[in-house]
Chain A
C-alpha cells in the first residue's frame, strides 16, 4: 500500500517535471496537471494511510482516518483546477496573438 502510493507520487512527479521542461505550452500544461495530481495524492498520504476507517471519531470505531488532509486536498484540487483553466485560456490567447505556442519564445533573452 505505502509502496503503491509512494511510487504513484514519484512517477507522476517525474512525468510532470519532464513535461514542464518541454518547449510548447501543451505539454507544459499537461505536466503542471500531472504535478498537481502528484501533490494531491501526497497531501492525502500525509494524513497517514488508513483503509476502511471513518473520517470521524465515533463510539465503537476502532480507528479513524484524518479528515483534515481530505479537506486540504479538496481545496488544492479546486485551486489547481481554476489555475489550469486560467493557463489554458492564456496559452490559447498567446497562441492566437503570436502565432506560436513555444513557451520560451522570447523576443529578448532572459538573463
Chain B
C-alpha cells in the first residue's frame, strides 16, 4: 500500500497534538512548527497530485481491513486537487496570521489550525460515508476553537450560533447515514454506488429521503440558501485569517456534493433520477441572488466579503447542478478561483479593519496607513471576485455560462449576469467609500501610523498572484480539471480501487 495517502491526516494530527503539549516552548517554536507543518502538507499534497495524474485511483485500506468492512481512503484527481488547494491556502493564510500577530492573541492557534487541516484533508480523502461524518466533526470542532480565537463578546455570541447550527447539521447527517445504512447495508461510497443503483423499487422513497437529507447537510456546509444563515455572522466575526481559511470550508460542502452525487446518486440512478440536479439548480440560483443582494447591502467590509462567498457558492453550484463533465470541470475551475479570491478579500478586510476604526461601510473615515497599496489590492481582488476580465473569475463564469447553454439558458444567464452587475455596484460602493471618500475629509491629517507588516501584504499579493497564474495557465489547469471531471462521471477506477468482493474490476 502507498502510505503517502495517510500522511495528510497523520502529520497534522501528530504535530497538532505535539504543539498542544509544547505550549510552554513559546510562540516562536509554535510558529516554526506550524509553518513547517503546513509547508510539509503542501509538498505531500503536490506529491499526491503527481501520483493522481499518473495512476487512475488508489485506495488505502486503514488497518489492512478490506473494503467495505474497513475504512478506506481513496486518492483520485479530485481529492488531490482539494488537498493542494487547501495546503496552498493554509500556508499563505498562516503567514498572514503570524505577520499580523493574530496567532499571539490567544493560545493554541497553530495547534487548532493543524487540526482544522487534518479534518479538511481527511474529508477530502475518505471513501467512507461515516468516516466523512467523523472528519466533518474534526474540522468543525477545530473551527469552533479558531472562530472564537482571541475571544470578545460579539465573537463568542456568533460562535454559539455557529456551533448550534452545525450541531443540528451533524444530527441531520447522522439521520441521513442511518437511513442509507438501513436501506443498503453499507456505508462505503464505492459499495453504495453499486447497491443504490440496484435497489428494489420498494426502497425508492427511503433512498430519496436519505439523498435529500445528505443534500441538506452538504448544503448547510456550503451555505446554500436557505441554509446559509450561519455564514455571514460567523465569517464577519471570526478573526481575519481564520475567515480566510474558512473560505475553503464552504468548498468542503461543494466537494461532498460532487463526490456523493456523482458516485452514489448519479442522474442515471433509477430511483432518484434528476431530483437532485433540479433541487440544486433552484437553490444555486437563489443563493447567487441572495449573495449579490447581500454584497450590495452589507454594513461592514467583512460581511460584504462573506456575502460574496455566498454568491460564489451559488455560481459554483449552478455548474455542479449541470452534472455533465463540462459543467463539473467549469465548477472545479470556479471553485479554485473563488477560494483564492475570497481568502484574499478576507485578508484585505482584516488589514483594513486593523488600520481603521472598524471596517464599517456607513461613514467615510480619513485615509489609513498604507492606503494606496491596500486600495490597489482591493481593486484587483474585487475585480477578480466579481468576474471581470482579465482575471480568472471572468474565465470561470464564462465556462459556467457556456456549460449551462440549453433549455435552462433563459433562466440561468440573466441571473448570473444581473447578479454580477449588482455585485460590481456593491464593490464599487465599498471601495469608493473606504478609499476615495477618505481623501475628501478636510485637510489631510497624517494617517495613524501602523507597522508595515510586509509579510502580511506578501500573503495577499501571493494569493492574487495565484489568481493571475490561474488565468494565465488556464489551459493546463483545464486539462487537469477535464480529466478530473471525466473521472468523476465515470467512477469505474474509483470503484475498482476499493477491491470490493463480488464486483468485477
Contacts and interface: CB of A to CB of B under 8 A. Distances in A.
A42 B144 CA distance: 27
A48 B182 CA distance: 8
B431 to A, nearest CB: 21
The 5 residue pairs across chains A and B that have the minimum distance between CB atoms: A46-B182, A94-B156, A46-B178, A97-B153, A43-B178
B170 interface: yes
Given A46-B182, A111-B294, A83 B170 contact: yes
Contacts, number: 109
B482 to A, nearest CB: 37
Contacts of A20: 164, 168
Contacts of B127: none
Given A93-B156, A107-B154, A76 B174 contact: yes
7 contacts: A32-B168, A83-B170, A86-B144, A91-B160, A105-B157, A110-B232, A111-B307
A110 B175 CA distance: 28
B461 interface: no
Given A39-B175, A86-B163, A98 B141 contact: no
Interface residues of B, number: 39
B233 A90 contact: no
Contacts of B171: 16, 32, 35-36, 38-39
Contact of B170 (A43, A47, A48, A79): A79
- Chain A interface SS verdict (over half): helix
A52 B349 CA distance: 61
Given A42-B178, A75-B134, A83-B137, A94 B164 contact: no
B168 A94 contact: no
A36 to B, nearest CB: 6
Interface in A65-111: 68-69, 72, 75-76, 79-80, 82-83, 86-87, 90-91, 93-94, 97-98, 103-108, 110-111
Q: Which of B158, B170, B299, B307 is most buried by chain A, counting CB atoms within 10 A of its CB? A: B170
Nearest to A35: B171
A43 to B, nearest CB: 4
Interface size class of A (residues with CB under 8 A): 35 or more
A45 B303 CA distance: 43
B178 A83 contact: no
Given A79-B137, A86-B141, A105-B157, A46 B181 contact: yes
Contacts of A69: 178, 181
Nearest to A108: B299
A83 B141 contact: yes
Contacts of B177: 43, 72
B168 A39 contact: no
Interface in B162-176: 163-164, 167-168, 170-171, 174-175
